[in-house]
Amino acid sequence: MLGSIRKFSTTIYAKILLAIVIIPFVFWGMGNVFTGGNKNVIVKIDDDKFSIQTFAKFVKENATAGQEINSKQIEGFLTFFISEKIIEKEVKELGINLNDVSLSKLIKHQKSFQRDNKFSRTEYEKYLIKNNTTAINFEKNFSKLQKKKQLLDFIGKG
């Protein structure tokens, strides 16, 4: 049997068959057969794909510690995750920005951080300790919230 395959491989028909198989791969390649795919993608918004790992990190950040999560809560988290990603995309597309100086002014004008109508670093630190967060995380979340507010103001006021 091997002898007949060896003889066939030297014929012109074998070369034509080989060319027919190779030509499509040369011009069009394999595509996404070996790379990527949608195995770990939980949601796709436009061209952005979000993985299960990204969603799990989001749930971990937003769930209360020690909370058991059921399927209804996962659905709620997924809805919240998708809405946050859409808002982030819109903020980015509209170019809504908040620089460090503006963020500082907004934080300093929060009533919960004031004592005698002046910004109090002590009150700010107490707030961070009370809410078990770092200044970096608070400022990141506060910035995200302010950008979201600006987007909704922009849309609402036309």
Any idea what the Cα angle at residue 88 is, between residues 83 and 91, rounded to 5°?
125
Answer yes or no: are the C-beta atoms of 87 and 69 closer than 8 Å.
Answer: no
* pLDDT, tens digit, 9 for 90 and up, residues 129-141: 998 889 998 999 9
Threshold 0.75, pTM exceeds: no
Residue 34 has pLDDT above 70, yes or no: no
| pLDDT of 36 strictly over 70 | no
Q: What is the domain partition of the chain in residue ranges?
A: 1-35, 36-95, 96-158
How far does Cα 141 stand from its chain's mean position? 15
Mean pLDDT of 138-151: 92
55 burial via Cβ count (<10 Å: 0-12, 13-18, 19+) = buried
pLDDT at 23 over 70: yes
